[in-house]
Amino acid sequence: MSKALLKFVRVSPTKARLVAREVQGMNAEHALAALEFMPNKAAGIIAGVITSAVANGEYEPEEVVITSCRVDKAAVMKRWRPRARGTASRIIKPTAHVFVEVTPASEATKPEPKKVDTKRTTAKKPEPKKAEADKPAPRETEPQTEARNENKPAGRKGTAKGDDLTKIKGIGKVYQGKLNDEGIYTFEDVANMTDEQIAIMEEKYTFRGDFRESVADAKNFVNGKEA
């Protein structure tokens, strides 16, 4: 392995790196042949550094490989040019350091290709459990709905049509709507109400008069129908 370094060469580092990348890793003889036909200014400079590196190790160009071709930024020279109205514009003249390292082809080792692990599985990650707060509220089951209706007086439920309960003594349209909300639609439903159901109705709704008289009147309507 041998090296060569050229310092403060008058060339732009950015432009010289374009050429350096092309010859890195090439055989020295092939690299010199390629640089000979490149129109870039840096091509002739880098070719001279490669020749020096090969000569420093007392190798032949076909025996070595360019393992490293690096261009570093060096000092920048600044000049000034007069412009209109007494002003001046700056002129920047960059310089660079060119470093070349060559190694015999027998010693140069190629990087081993990365091994792909075929045993690698593509198992899906378990989904995170949702917080209890995000869970939807459970639907109301039938036992819960039945428990709500325990205190309601028994009657004919689910029927929108029934007898005109306003004909019963002491029951008006407002109270008829309340009875319908409780599932009571016919004279028979009112007549069959127990004392416990009557007490619940009187406690739940304000009833003018004695509701038991209305129940008795409803029984008269039922007996009249049966007759």
The tens digit of pLDDT for each residue in 136-182 reads: 666 655 555 455 545 444 444 434 457 777 777 667 777 777 777 77
Residues 93 and 170 in one domain: no
Is residue 188 assigned to a domain? Answer: yes
pLDDT per residue as tens digits for the range 29-87: 999 999 999 999 999 999 999 999 999 999 999 999 999 999 999 999 999 999 999 99
- Residue finishing a domain among 104, 119, 134: 104
Is residue 109 assigned to a domain? Answer: no
Provide the domain limits for residue 65: 2-104
| pTM exceeds 0.85 for this model | no
Residue 78's CATH number = 3.90.470.10
Neighbours of 66 (CB within 10 A): 24
Q: What angle do CA 117, 120, 126 make, to 5 degrees?
A: 155
Question: Which has the closest alpha carbon to 41: 14, 4, 66?
Answer: 14
Question: Which has the closest alpha carbon to 184: 147, 209, 211, 145?
Answer: 211
Is residue 40 assigned to a domain? Answer: yes
162, two tokens: 């029934």
